[in-house]
Structure 1
Amino acid sequence: MNHDTPDHTPNTGDAVRRIRYRRKLTQEELAERAGLSEATVKSIETGKRQGRMPTLAKLARALGVSTTDLLIPAAGAPVVPEADPDGLLAVRRALTPPLGIDLTGDLEPEQPGPWVETLAYAERLYMDDRYDAVLQAVPVLIEEASILHRANPAEPRPLAQAYLYAANALTQLRQLDLANHALDKAMRVAYDTGDELLAAWAVGIQCWTLLLQRRFREVEQLAVQTAERIEPKMSDPASPQVATWGWLMMRASAAAIRDARTDDAETYMRQAKMAASRLDGEQLAASAGVGVWSPPPVRRFCETTVGFKSVENAILIGEHGKGLELAARVVPSRIPTVNNRNRHKLDLAAAHVASGNQADAIESLMDLRDAAPKWLSHQGYAREMIRELVEHRRRAYADQLGELADHVGLPV
């Protein structure tokens, strides 16, 4: 049967089947090599299931290819949110105003103090998962930063900070087209002023948007090339350059591990760990309080953050036991961002699911629902995990799984 016809767009299942044929493997043989069930391989090849990233990474390694080879042409497909959240129209207007119309010309410039306070308040909203309020904050930030920039063109950072905040929030809400608008504007400010660090921060967020689109090779190349341009001195324990370099190495590792290239991923993660070991995380996090602003992922970069991401990598490639062992050795710290902590808890829940430990998995997910309900509802990773638990649910957990399914919008 020819699947490559005008009525059929080639997908991941077609790629798995085509490469399996070339390797002269049956579905049963591929399933055995990959450590999966034959039913899983069959459902992916027929398109009944898309396959979560850990599953696709296992298939890629069993077939001797990269994960990207299985995702083409799916790689780069847009990530479409289910619906536009309230407040998005005002954000669109702020990021894409009508050409030739100046919406801030008659407004008075603010003093630096109120701007810093406004940005700090907006960041607290984001950390508290108050996404409706975050969307209301974005146009205010952009307007105030634009006024400041008009009053002092030599100081571009407030404007870049506003765009970076917008890009980060919009990526979290999976509004990637608008996030890229914000990133483009931040990049323009950085390039116009020759600020490599501002540009690197924009790249770090862009890597996240590309990871969500499964454009792994581009992420790796972009992160590594940008890190090379920074060339930080490792002697400063509160250096945002060192933290940014380490952050980019983690992005490169995230791309490589999802592309079924474990050795490269481990190399990048060692580099990130080395950068984190040179930093005083408390001092770096506190530096924002004396006017040295940097994005939260940078100023909260530390050995604990690298530990969380090492756990994530192990679980992504199906090494759930190793992931749980690494988690037990992560150095406790309050420095990492709340979202990094939440993602770490979600990874541990995934490890429990894979280990057949439904009780601990459900307990972890219920804790996340109570602690970060808005954040959890935006996680496709959590939705797929809950779907799997529902499909194999035990009677004792039916009520809790029903609550979790309702929370992420899954039919039971």
Structure 2
Amino acid sequence: MSAYLGERLREIRKRRGLTQRQLADLSGVSLSLVRKLEQGERTDTRLETARALAHALKVPTTHLVAAHAEEPADEATVRSWAPVHAALAAPAGTGTLDEAPTYEGVRDALRSAVPLFAHDRFTELGTVLPSLLRDTEALTATDVRGRPLRARLLELTGWLMTQTRQFDAAELALDRAQDDATDGVQRAATASVQCWLLLRRGRLAQARDLAVRWSDEVEPRMSRATPGELSAWGWLLLRLSAAAIRDNRPGEADDALRLAHSAAVALGRECTPEGDFLRTFGPVTVALKRAENAMVADRPDTVLSLASRIPADTLKPTSNNRNRHLLDVASAQTQLRRYAEAVDTLQKIRAGSPQWLPNQRYARDILDRIVTRRRTLTPEIRELADVVNLPV
């Protein structure tokens, strides 16, 4: 964000006739942090902090921040995925040289790889994904049937790169997936992942605009909509809601959630169209996102109240929606000083998705707050701090 946040913060605060102390009291942000931001001693802060300041100043978050990206992957992570990056960037038509891939072979290989994506098996994906990308590229050059396979694989790869905070590679993969998509529902599903990437990069306005455009384009007739259409539309509305709440537009966020809920009601249950785990959608998914919005709005009591009524354990332990929700629960527990419960919640995530948790900046921030506030650290807390790579 550079010095942009401090400059805008000072300008808007003065326009509102507030002192630094008054702004700190209204926003819940410490006076020392307000001073450091305005003086340029701190040039970065969490998006949730920027939103709290914007809410107190009664402006959208984007009025304060030009962009607020999550921390990208470190060099070691990028190096470990270098073969995937190379396969993504390979010229068109490049593929396996010793034996031409067949449609059936590539189709079956993709089917076998999907569970690795769904279960966050990052180590195995790092091994199989480069050759699968090359084979799919080579197949598409000679067989038109390979195009939807490549679109699907590129969408999954873009999702994976976003998950591991390799944002430039994710953008490349998702742009190519859009080019290859052969039907509207597939394109809408890819657009949903693109919205998620924009959210993680802090590009709230772009995420909001993309979600609005695609949700308008694919809005179905409820009386005859397919599960795939309802899921695609519902997810785009959830992305819109996520962008709006982070941009301090709570009314717009609530409106989008209500529409998403109507799509979930039309489905009647959690549904996974065509067996695609990225499109799983229904009443539970909407409830999880409602709790997420409450956490962004800094209402930890509401988060825990909503969580108590959400059957999150009906979702698979490897479900990213479930695990993201549990991070919100752990964050709320931490804010309310229920540290032992927060640690138990983080351990629950770790047990189900041990390769997913270390990639979550959110988890690191939660552990940081726990470590800072606790006088003594249990062996369990110290171990979790190492798992999420919390700096010493």
- Normalised to the residue count of structure 1, the TM-score between the two structures is 0.87
> Does residue 51 of structure 2 align to residue 60 of structure 1?
no
After superposition, give the CA deviation of every residue in 1:194-224 in whole Å (9 maximum; x if it has no partner): x222221221111111111111111111111
After superposition, give the CA deviation of every residue in 1:115-145 in whole Å (9 maximum; x if it has no partner): 4432233222123222122222322332332
Structure 1 pair 11/137, CA: closer, same or farther in 2 (3 Å)? Answer: farther
> Does residue 166 of structure 2 align to residue 166 of structure 1?
no
- 1:145 aligned to 108, 113, 136, which one? 136
Question: How many matched pairs?
Answer: 389
Higher mean displacement: 356-365 or 48-57: 48-57
1:12 and 1:137 map into 2 onto residues whose CA distance is: 43
CA positional deviation for 1:411: 3.3
1:126 and 1:27 map into 2 onto residues whose CA distance is: 47
CA positional deviation for 1:281: 4.1
- 1:28 aligned to 21, 30, 43, which one? 21
Higher mean displacement: 336-345 or 145-154: 145-154
1:253 and 1:323 map into 2 onto residues whose CA distance is: 16
> Does residue 239 of structure 2 align to residue 245 of structure 1?
no
5 Å matches for 1:153-302?
153=144, 156-190=147-181, 193=182, 195-236=183-224, 238-281=226-269, 284-285=271-272, 287-288=274-275, 294=276, 296-298=277-279, 300-302=280-282
2:73 — aligned with what? 81
- For the 8 Å contact 1:134–1:169, the answer to whether it is kept is no
After superposition, give the CA deviation of every residue in 1:295-318 in whole Å (9 maximum; x if it has no partner): x221x1111111111001001111
Give the share of equivalent positions with the same residue, in percent.
Answer: 35
Structure 1 pair 103/141, CA: closer, same or farther in 2 (3 Å)? Answer: closer
2:391 — aligned with what? 411
CA positional deviation for 1:365: 1.8
Matched residue SS, 1:342 = helix
Structure 1 pair 368/335, CA: closer, same or farther in 2 (3 Å)? Answer: closer
2:337 — aligned with what? 356
Structure 2 unmatched ranges of 5 or more: none
Equivalent position amino acid for 2:205 in 1: R
CA positional deviation for 1:272: 0.9
1:110 — aligned with what? 102
1:353 and 1:249 map into 2 onto residues whose CA distance is: 29
CA positional deviation for 1:106: 5.9
1:90 and 1:79 map into 2 onto residues whose CA distance is: 22
After superposition, give the CA deviation of every residue in 1:309-348 in whole Å (9 maximum; x if it has no partner): 1001001111111111111222453379611111111100
> Does residue 309 of structure 2 align to residue 322 of structure 1?
no
> Does residue 38 of structure 2 align to residue 51 of structure 1?
no
1:352 and 1:189 map into 2 onto residues whose CA distance is: 44
Structure 1 pair 242/182, CA: closer, same or farther in 2 (3 Å)? Answer: same
1:228 and 1:104 map into 2 onto residues whose CA distance is: 41
Structure 1 pair 240/57, CA: closer, same or farther in 2 (3 Å)? Answer: same
Matched residue SS, 1:71 = coil
- 2:370 aligned to 372, 375, 389, which one? 389
1:64 and 1:145 map into 2 onto residues whose CA distance is: 50
- For the 8 Å contact 2:94–2:137, the answer to whether it is kept is no
- For the 8 Å contact 2:95–2:138, the answer to whether it is kept is no
Equivalent position amino acid for 1:273 in 2: H
1:286 and 1:217 map into 2 onto residues whose CA distance is: 29
Matched residue SS, 1:318 = coil
1:4 — aligned with what? none
CA positional deviation for 1:363: 1.8
Equivalent position amino acid for 2:356 in 1: W
Structure 1 unmatched ranges of 5 or more: 1-7, 289-293
Higher mean displacement: 373-382 or 332-341: 332-341
CA positional deviation for 1:228: 1.2
1:291 — aligned with what? none
1:267 and 1:24 map into 2 onto residues whose CA distance is: 32
2:191 and 2:63 map into 1 onto residues whose CA distance is: 24
Matched residue SS, 2:131 = helix
Equivalent position amino acid for 2:60 in 1: S
1:141 and 1:154 map into 2 onto residues whose CA distance is: 16
> Does residue 115 of structure 2 align to residue 124 of structure 1?
yes
1:35 and 1:76 map into 2 onto residues whose CA distance is: 20
2:75 and 2:224 map into 1 onto residues whose CA distance is: 45
- For the 8 Å contact 2:3–2:43, the answer to whether it is kept is no
CA positional deviation for 1:354: 1.0
- For the 8 Å contact 1:242–1:275, the answer to whether it is kept is yes
1:239 and 1:246 map into 2 onto residues whose CA distance is: 10
> Does residue 115 of structure 2 align to residue 135 of structure 1?
no
1:401 and 1:70 map into 2 onto residues whose CA distance is: 35
2:112 and 2:301 map into 1 onto residues whose CA distance is: 40
- Normalised to the residue count of structure 2, the TM-score between the two structures is 0.91
Cα RMSD after superposing both structures: 2.5
Equivalent position amino acid for 2:325 in 1: H
CA positional deviation for 1:372: 2.2
1:309 — aligned with what? 289
